[in-house]
Amino acid sequence: MLRFVDYDIVFQEIPDEVTLAVNLSDCPHRCPGCHSPHLQQNIGKELSETVLSNLLQKYEKSITCVCFMGGDGDIHGLCRLATFIREQWGGKIKTAWYSGFNTLSRKECLQSFNFVKLGAYVESLGGLNKRTTNQRLYLIDNSDMIDITESIW
C-alpha cells in the first residue's frame, strides 16, 4: 500500500511542467545524506484512487503533471495509480516518477508514465540539478527512455 506524507505544487522537478509532487513514504533505499529521511518510515495517509482523484480535482486547473516522489516499495500500486490518472484525465495531466532505483527491472510499467527519474541519491555527486549527478531524468516515448537530464541544468 502506498502512503503519502505531503504534497506541493512545484516548478523544477519536471521541465516545462507545473507539477503536483506527492511525497511517498516507506522508501527502501536508505541513501546516505538523504534530504528526506522521514520518508524512509512507513508513515502518512493511504494514497488510494479516491484520495488521488480528490487531489486532482482540487488542483487540475493549476497543474500539468503529477510526480510520485518515491513509491519504490510498491511499484505495482504506483503503476496502478499512474494508469488511473492517464485513464481518468485523458492525457490532460502527465505522470512522472522519481525513483531511487538505478535501473528498472520491470519496464512494463513505463507506459504509465511520461517521465521517470532514476538513480539513488549520492551526496558527493549531488541531485538531479547538478551536472555531476548520477541521477537521470527520462522522457518516456512509446516505452523508449530518452535522457533529458540536461534540461534540468
**CATH number for position 82:** 3.20.20.70
Q: Is the pLDDT of residue 140 over 90?
A: yes
pTM of the model: 0.95
Phi–psi pair at 3, nearest 5 degrees: -125, 140
Q: In the predicted model, what is the mean pLDDT of residues 42-66?
A: 97
For residue 73, the enclosing domain spans 3-152
Cell numbers for 2, please give them: 502506498
How many folded domains does the chain comprise? 1
The count of other CB atoms within 10 Å of the CB of residue 67 is: 24
Q: In the predicted model, what is the mean pLDDT of residues 93-122?
A: 91
> Which amino acid, 9?
I
Cell numbers for 53, please give them: 482523484
